[in-house]
Structure formats: structure tokens, C-alpha cells
């Protein structure tokens, strides 16, 4: 009997810390693994540095699709993956998160009758204006294995009529990566390198709801400047929306320190040493939950409510952001806090076991 081929499809910065533990754990099973990087995020700070820092094998295939509109990017990934899947005939395709590469791989696999596994299944914001929510819904509908990070995700899938046999509560592989590397998160080294002295908060902002519409951008600049009136703001700025923010005067505050995106280890060191994080990112809500850093999520909703019920996260609006930051700064950092079930550093092993059972292979 031939060795089953498992193809992992990654494409953007959030995918890599999720894939690393799965690749490592599955290497102990008698399967062949092929790592595909679609190139959706294609510069060094958004992708290549992750492979070096996290010990992920270099991709076997880099499709190099680059940026573009949602339709163009998804279509380019689909065309390239269809050719690859037809040639290699994988036994299973593993997809991660909610980016365009994720839904593209799921669609191609479904059309070719190849089963797929979705790592981070069942997350819902219930906001269909978010492209990621559309990607999540389609990917989960097409996946054969739904690998969930939280109990609310299980409930969402059940409400959508997914058969319980497909759903597996495995925990969060991104937290595996965080816990494995946390001794490397050197806040002092990062702040010294960046020339930052004293207290600071970290911000990451790139969602369309914050940086696409000029009126939203104007409100965001006002809100963030009110934060910068209180404390230095360090913002590794995503390429998306950078020019628009700059034009709106976002950089024009002495306490606003705008830097290029950082590598994983450096960014997590920066977060660990901060007084708080202001973000619209999904993954940062999870990372701060484990690190115990107060997180203010600048969105009307989150697909990760477990970070609110079992973590340090809260949803805020632009109107109240400065007041919420003031409250955080006036409160000592908590010494203990709740963390979600199974966010324990062993999600990769549980995912590998589920995949092994599905493929009919056992750990070597």
C-alpha cells in the first residue's frame, strides 16, 4: 500500500504558527507531507521569516500568487492548486484559518473529490461584511474534518447541521507555537533594537472596517492619537492601508512609533513587554490571552469570543478606545487569568492523531 500524501496549504502570516505544530506532529506518522505556500503574503517579514524562526521546513511548492483583489487572488490560487492536486493526488488537504488561500484550497479539493481538513474550524463573527467570515463558512461546509479550537466553534458547527463525527475538539495549534517559543520572547532586546524607552502599547490595524473608508480612517486617527496622548503607541504597520493612514495624518503624533512588520519572535517579544494591545487582528486576541496582556479589539464583533470569556480581551469602539486604554493603564497587570480549555501546547499532536485515524495510519 502506498504512503498517503497530506498536502498542507498555507498562504499568509497567520497560517504559519498554526501549521508548524501540525507538520511536526504528523512527521511521526507514516505519511508523506507536502507543504504548499501560495505566496498570498510574499515579502520576508510577512512570510519567509516565519519559516526560519519557527523551524518550519521550507515550502516544497511556492505558488507565488502575490496580492490582488479577493477574486483575482482566490482564482490564481485555485488555478495553481488544481494543477498540483491533479498531479499529486493527495489523500488529504489540510487548510488553516480563514484567508483566501484557505477557501481556494477547499474549493479545489471539493471539486476534485479530495477530502480536506480545516484547522480552526467553526469560528464565527456572524458578520458577512468580513471576507474572512465568508471564507470560514465555505471552508467548513466543504471540509471532511473540522478541527476546532474552542467549544463555541463546536456549537456553531452543530447549529449549521454538521455531522458530529466530522467535528474534533483539538485545541489551538497557534498556542503550541507560542508556548514552545515563549522563552525566546525578549522584550528588552526588541525595545532596545527599536529605540523604545518606557511604557508602551502595541497596535495592529488592517481590517477594511478600520482602514478602507476615509471616514473610518479619520475616526481611527483621532482615536489612536487620543491613545498616544497617554502612552507611546508602537504599531508594526501592515502594508494594507498604510498609504491611506499616512495621508490621513496617522503618523503625525510624537508618541506614535510606526515600524515595519516584525518577525514572529520579535513581535511576540514586543507584545509581551507592552502594557496593552489595540488590535483588529484575530490571532493577536489569542496570543494576548495566553500572555496575560490586556487586549482591546477595535471591532464590533469577534469570531474568538473565548478570548473574552477565558482571556484578557474586550471589544471596544473608536469612541471609547482612549477611555478604555486609560482604565487599563490605571490597573496593575493581573498575575493570574483564565485560559481556554486545551490551549495547552498539545493541539498539534491531537490534530495529527485525528488525521492518522482518518487515513488509517498509526504513529510510528
> Any idea what the CATH number is for the domain that residue 128 is in?
3.40.50.2000
List all residues 6 or more positions away from 91 whose beta carbon is below 8 Å from its beta carbon: 4, 5, 6, 31, 114, 115, 359
Residue 146 lies in a domain: yes
pLDDT for the residue numbered 23: 97
Residue 336 lies in a domain: no
Residue 306 lies in a domain: yes
Q: How many domains does the chain have?
A: 2
pLDDT for the residue numbered 57: 83
Judge if 188 and 77 occupy the same domain. Answer: no
Closest to 9 measured CA to CA, from 87, 110, 77: 77
Residue 177 lies in a domain: no
Stretch 208-213: mean pLDDT:
87
Lowest mean pLDDT segment, chosen from 58-67, 254-263, 337-346: 58-67
Lowest mean pLDDT segment, chosen from 189-198, 234-243, 257-266, 272-281: 234-243
Stretch 161-182: mean pLDDT:
97
Judge if 227 and 313 occupy the same domain. Answer: yes
Judge if 198 and 270 occupy the same domain. Answer: yes
pLDDT for the residue numbered 223: 97
Judge if 245 and 141 occupy the same domain. Answer: no
Stretch 176-195: mean pLDDT:
97
Q: What is the pLDDT of residues 19-54, one digit of tens each?
A: 999 999 999 999 999 999 998 655 555 557 778 888
CA separation for the pair 233, 227 (Å, rounded)? 8
Judge if 197 and 106 occupy the same domain. Answer: no
Judge if 167 and 206 occupy the same domain. Answer: no
DSSP 113-145: T--EEEEEET-----TTSHHHHHHHHHHHH-SE
pLDDT for the residue numbered 70: 86
Whether the predicted pLDDT of 240 surpasses 90: no
**What's the grid cell of residue 224?**
489612536
CA separation for the pair 339, 355 (Å, rounded)? 26
CB neighbourhood size of 182 (10 A): 15
pLDDT for the residue numbered 40: 61
Judge if 217 and 284 occupy the same domain. Answer: yes
C-alpha angle with apex 216: 213 to 219, nearest 5 degrees?
Answer: 150
Q: What is the pLDDT of residues 287-323, one digit of tens each?
A: 999 999 999 999 999 999 999 999 999 999 999 999 9
Judge if 314 and 276 occupy the same domain. Answer: yes
CA separation for the pair 9, 15 (Å, rounded)? 9
Range 9-34 burial, b when 16+ CB lie within 10 A, else e: bbbbbbbbbbbbbbbbbbeebebebb
Residue 163 lies in a domain: yes
pLDDT for the residue numbered 254: 96
Residue 178 lies in a domain: no
Q: What is the pLDDT of residues 55-68, one digit of tens each?
A: 888 889 989 877 77
- Choose, from 41, 70, 206, 225, the residue flagged as catalytic: 206
Residue 199 lies in a domain: yes
Active-site annotation holds for 206? yes
State the DSSP H helix or E strand holding residue 159, giving kind and residue range, or none if neither. Answer: helix 151-159
CA distances from 164 to 24, 86, 146, 168 (A): 27, 30, 10, 8
CB neighbourhood size of 97 (10 A): 25
Stretch 227-233: mean pLDDT:
98
- pLDDT band with cut points at 50, 70 and 90 for residue 242: confident
DSSP 267-326: HHHHHHTSS-EEE--SHHHHHHHHHT--EEE-SS--S-THHHHSSSEEE--TTTHHHHHH
State the residue range of the domain holding 132.
Answer: 5-172+343-359
Phi–psi pair at 325, nearest 5 degrees: -60, -40
pLDDT for the residue numbered 47: 59
CA distances from 334 to 65, 292, 312 (A): 44, 7, 9
Lowest mean pLDDT segment, chosen from 65-69, 173-177, 227-231, 314-318: 65-69
Judge if 187 and 66 occupy the same domain. Answer: no
CB neighbourhood size of 192 (10 A): 11
Stretch 161-189: mean pLDDT:
97
pLDDT for the residue numbered 364: 84
Give me the chain's average pLDDT, please: 94
Judge if 12 and 86 occupy the same domain. Answer: yes
- pLDDT band with cut points at 50, 70 and 90 for residue 239: confident
With beta carbons less than 8 A apart as the criterion, state whether 339 and 308 touch. Answer: no
Q: What is the pLDDT of residues 99-156, one digit of tens each?
A: 999 999 999 999 999 999 999 999 999 999 999 999 999 999 999 999 999 999 999 9
Q: Measure the CA dihedral 139/140/142/145, to 10°.
A: 120
Judge if 235 and 292 occupy the same domain. Answer: yes
CA separation for the pair 322, 229 (Å, rounded)? 9
The reported pTM is 0.94
Phi-psi region for residue 181, left (φ > 0), alpha (ψ -120 to 50) or beta?
alpha
Whether the predicted pLDDT of 199 surpasses 90: yes
Give the strands of the sheet with 145-148, arranged side by side: 61-62, 32-37, 5-10, 92-96, 116-121, 145-148, 167-169
Residue 337 lies in a domain: no
Judge if 10 and 145 occupy the same domain. Answer: yes
Amino acid at each position: 500500500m502506498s504512503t498517503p500524501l497530506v498536502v498542507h496549504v498555507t498562504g499568509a502570516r497567520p497560517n504559519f504558527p498554526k501549521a508548524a505544530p501540525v507538520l511536526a506532529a504528523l512527521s511521526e506518522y507514516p505519511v508523506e507531507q507536502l507543504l504548499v505556500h501560495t505566496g498570498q503574503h510574499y515579502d520576508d517579514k510577512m512570510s519567509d521569516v516565519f519559516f526560519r524562526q519557527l523551524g518550519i521546513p521550507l515550502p516544497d511548492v511556492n505558488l507565488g500568487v502575490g496580492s490582488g483583489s479577493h477574486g483575482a487572488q482566490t482564482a490564481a490560487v485555485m488555478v495553481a492548486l488544481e494543477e498540483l492536486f491533479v498531479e499529486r493526488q493527495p489523500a488529504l488537504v489540510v487548510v488553516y484559518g480563514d484567508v483566501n488561500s484557505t477557501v481556494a484550497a477547499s474549493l479545489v479539493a471539493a471539486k476534485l473529490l479530495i477530502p480536506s481538513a480545516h484547522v480552526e474550524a467553526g469560528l464565527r463573527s456572524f458578520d458577512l461584511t468580513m471576507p474572512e467570515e465568508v471564507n470560514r463558512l465555505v471552508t467548513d461546509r466543504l471540509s471532511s474534518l473540522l478541527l476546532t479550537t474552542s467549544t463555541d466553534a463546536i456549537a456553531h458547527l452543530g447549529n449549521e447541521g454538521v455531522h458530529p463525527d466530522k467535528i474534533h475538539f483539538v485545541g489551538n495549534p497557534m498556542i503550541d507555537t507560542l508556548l514552545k517559543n515563549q522563552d525566546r520572547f525578549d522584550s528588552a532586546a526588541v525595545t532596545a533594537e527599536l529605540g523604545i524607552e518606557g511604557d508602551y502599547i502595541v497596535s495592529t490595524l488592517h481590517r477594511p472596517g478600520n482602514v478602507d473608508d476615509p471616514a473610518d480612517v479619520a475616526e481611527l486617527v483621532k482615536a489612536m492619537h487620543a491613545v498616544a496622548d497617554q502612552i507611546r503607541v508602537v504599531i508594526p504597520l501592515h502594508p494594507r492601508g498604510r498609504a491611506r493612514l499616512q495621508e490621513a495624518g496617522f503618523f503625525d503624533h510624537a508618541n506614535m512609533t510606526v515600524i515595519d512588520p516584525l518577525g514572529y519572535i520579535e513581535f511576540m517579544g514586543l507584545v509581551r513587554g507592552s502594557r496593552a494591545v489595540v488590535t483588529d487582528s484575530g490571532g493577536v486576541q489569542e496570543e494576548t490571552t495566553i500572555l496575560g496582556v490586556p487586549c482591546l479589539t477595535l471591532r464590533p464583533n469577534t469570531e474568538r469570543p473565548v478570548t473574552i470569556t477565558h482571556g484578557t480581551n474586550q471589544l471596544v469602539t473608536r469612541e471609547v478606545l482612549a477611555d478604555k486604554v486609560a482604565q487599563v493603564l490605571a490597573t496593575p497587570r493581573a498575575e493570574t487569568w483564565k485560559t481556554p480549555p486545551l490551549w495547552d501546547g498539545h493541539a498539534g499532536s491531537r490534530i495529527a492523531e485525528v488525521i492518522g485515524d482518518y487515513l488509517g495510519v498509526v504513529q510510528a
